[in-house]
Structure 1
C-alpha cells in the first residue's frame, strides 16, 4: 500500500509543480496550439495556448512509478519496465506529431499513415515481448485469464494486443478536444486498473497475475492517477496548457497495456467506455457521410455535438466525466461480481 501512495503522491506533485514550468518555457518559445478552423467557433480563442503538456503527464507518471521503488517499498518487474517503455514510445510519437504542428504552424502534424505505422510498430513490439519474455497468458480474458478462456495462440493474442493499443491511443486522442476531458476520464480508468491490480495481488490464488507483477501494475496505474490529477490543476477549463498528442497517445497506450497485462482484455472497452463512445461517434459520422451524404451528429467527436447544441463546455466535460466514472465503476463491479460468483480457480 505504501508504494501505491508514494506513486500517486509523486505523480501528483511532480506534474502539478512541473507543468507551470513547462508552460513558461513554451510561452517563451512561442509554442502554442493551432486550432482547426472547422471546429466550434468558441475554440478559436484557445489558439496560442501552450501544448505538449503530455510531457509532464508522462514524465510525472513515470517518475511516480520509479520513486515508488525507492528503498524497500517495491521491486521492479519486467512487466512494469516493458509497460513504461511502451508508454514512453507512444508518447514520443505524439511528441513528434505535436512538434511538427507547432513548427509548421498548422493543426496537422504527422499524417495518419505515419502515425498509425509508428503505433503499429510499438504495438507489435509490445506483443512480441509480452508473449516471448513476460509470458502473458494468450487466452482471451474478460475479468480473469480463464474467462472466457479461449486460447488465441501467440498470433491471435498479438493481433488483439496491437488492436487494443491502436484503438485506445486513437480513442483517447479523439477525446482530447475539451479542457480536462481526456485527463479526467483517463484518471478514472487508472483508478479501475489500480483497484484490479491490488485485488489480484490480494487473491493470487485466483488470478494468473502473481506478485510482484500485480502490485507493480497497480503502482503504475496509481502513478498515472496522480499525474492526471496534477495536470488537471492547469488543464481544467479554461486550460492554461493542452496535453497534445504527447499526452493522449501516452495515456492511451498506458490504459491498453494495463488491461492486457492484468488479463482483463475484454474489460478494456468498459473501463474506457467513454473513449469507445467518442471513437464510435467519429466512425458513424464518417461512415454515414460517405454512404448517405448525411451527418449523424452536428460535429464529431460527440463532445462537439453537444457543444453545438448549446451546452456550455464545462457542462459537457463534467457530464462526460460522470459517464467515465460510471463506466469504470461498472467494470470494477463486473470484476468483483465474478469473484463473488466463482471464487478461486479450481
Structure 2
C-alpha cells in the first residue's frame, strides 16, 4: 500500500515541476494553441497559450509508477505494462495531432480517419495482449471474455467480439475525455476524481481478490482481477499527475493538456475499466464524459434530422460539447467548470456507492 501513496506523491511533484518547465520551453518554441473560430469569443484571448502539456502528465505518471515499484523492490506486473501501453500509446496519437497543429499553425491536426487508425492500432494491440497472453497461475488474464459491471456476467464472448468491444471502449473513452477538454481545468479536475475513484476500486479489489491468502475473503463473492494492486498504483500516479498539472491548468490556464493529455487519460481510463472488470460501471463513474459525448451526438443527429428535405438544420444546444452551451448562455467559464466538477463528483460518488453496495448485497 505504501507504493500507492508513494506513486501519487512523486507524480504530483514531477507534474508540478515538469509542467512549469514545459510552459517555459513550449513558449520558447512557439508551441501555442490555435482556437476554433466558431467557438466562444472569450476563448480568442487564449490563442498562443502553450499546449501539449499532456506530455508532463504522461511523463510524471509513468516515472512515478516505476520509481514506486523500484522503491518497493517489485517488478511491474503485466497489467501495469498493458495499462501504460494504452496510456502512452493513446498519448502518442494525441501528440502527433498536437504537433501538426502547432507546426502548421492551424486548429486541425490529424485527420479524423488518421487519428482513428492510430487509436485502433493501440486498442487492438492492447486487446490481443490482454485477452490472449499474460495469464497468471490461476489462469486469469488482464482482460476477460465477458462484459462486466462489477463482476463478469452473461455469456463468454468470442475473441473477435471482445476485441471489437475493447476497441469501442478505448476509442469512445479517449475521445470523450478529448471532448471534455474545452475549458481551463475542466478535464483535469474531472480526471483527478475519476482516477482517484479507480484507485479506491482497485485497492478494494486487491483486498478481496479471488485466490487471496486473506482468511476473510469469501470465495463466492471475490474479484477475479489479474493485478489489482498494480492497477491502483498506476491510477494513483495518474491522479497525482493531474493534481500537479491542475496548478497550471486552472483558470486562467498557463498551459493546455492538448490531445496528448486527453487521449492518454481516456486510454488509461478505458484500460482501468477493462482490467478491473467494471466497463459498465465506468459510464457512471465517468458520467461527465458520457454527458459531453452524448451532447455532441444529439446535436449532430438532430441537426441532420431537421435538415432533411432541403430545410435548414436546427440545433438542440447553442454549441457542443455541452460546456460551451452554458458559456453561450452567459455563464462565466469558471462557473461552468466548478459546476461540472460538482456533477463529476456526484457521478464518482454514485459509482463508488454502487460498487460498494453491490459487494454488501452479495456478501
TM-score normalised by the shorter chain: which range applies?
over 0.9
Q: Distance in 2 between matches of 1:149 and 1:208?
A: 15
CA contact (8 A) 2:99 2:109 kept: yes
Superposition pairs of residues 166-315 of structure 1, within 5 angstroms: 166-205=171-210, 206-210=222-226, 213-292=227-306, 293-315=313-335
Q: Distance in 2 between matches of 1:204 and 1:52?
A: 38
Q: Give TM-score, length-normalised by structure 2.
A: 0.92
Residues 1:319 and 2:343 are matched in the alignment: no
Q: Deviations over 1:125-170 (max 9, x none)?
A: 111011111322211110122xx34322322221111100000010
Residues 1:17 and 2:32 are matched in the alignment: no
Which has the greater radius of gyration?
A: 2
Question: Number of residue pairs matched?
Answer: 339
Q: Give TM-score, length-normalised by structure 1.
A: 0.96
Residues 1:141 and 2:148 are matched in the alignment: yes
Q: Distance in 1 between matches of 2:34 and 2:49?
A: 8
Q: Distance in 2 between matches of 1:97 and 1:174?
A: 14
| Equivalent of 1:162 in 158, 167, 170 | 167
Q: Distance in 1 between matches of 2:10 and 2:74?
A: 15
The gaps in structure 2 that reach 5 residues or longer are 135-140, 211-221, 307-312
CA shift for structure 1 position 75: 3.5
CA contact (8 A) 2:190 2:344 kept: yes
Q: Distance in 2 between matches of 1:265 and 1:285?
A: 26
Residues 1:67 and 2:87 are matched in the alignment: no
Q: Deviations over 1:64-104 (max 9, x none)?
A: 11111013264310110111022111100100000000011
Q: Which residue of structure 2 lines up, in the alignment, with residue 29 of structure 1? A: 29
Q: Distance in 1 between matches of 2:87 and 2:359?
A: 30
CA contact (8 A) 1:234 1:241 kept: yes
SS at match of 2:336: helix
Question: Against the structure 1 CA distance between its residues 73 and 196, is the aligned structure 2 distance closer, same or farther, given a 3 Å change threshold?
Answer: farther
SS at match of 2:360: helix
RMSD: 1.0
Q: Distance in 2 between matches of 1:314 and 1:90?
A: 28
CA shift for structure 1 position 120: 0.8
| Equivalent of 2:359 in 326, 334, 339 | 339
CA contact (8 A) 1:18 1:56 kept: yes
Q: Distance in 2 between matches of 1:174 and 1:107?
A: 14
Q: Deviations over 1:163-185 (max 9, x none)?
A: 00000010000000000001111
Q: Distance in 2 between matches of 1:300 and 1:130?
A: 35
Q: Distance in 2 between matches of 1:16 and 1:123?
A: 30
Residues 1:150 and 2:155 are matched in the alignment: yes
CA contact (8 A) 2:85 2:126 kept: no
Q: Distance in 2 between matches of 1:192 and 1:198?
A: 10
SS at match of 2:155: strand
Q: Distance in 2 between matches of 1:332 and 1:92?
A: 31
CA contact (8 A) 1:3 1:74 kept: no
Q: Distance in 1 between matches of 2:345 and 2:71?
A: 34
CA contact (8 A) 2:180 2:186 kept: yes
Q: Distance in 2 between matches of 1:195 and 1:150?
A: 28
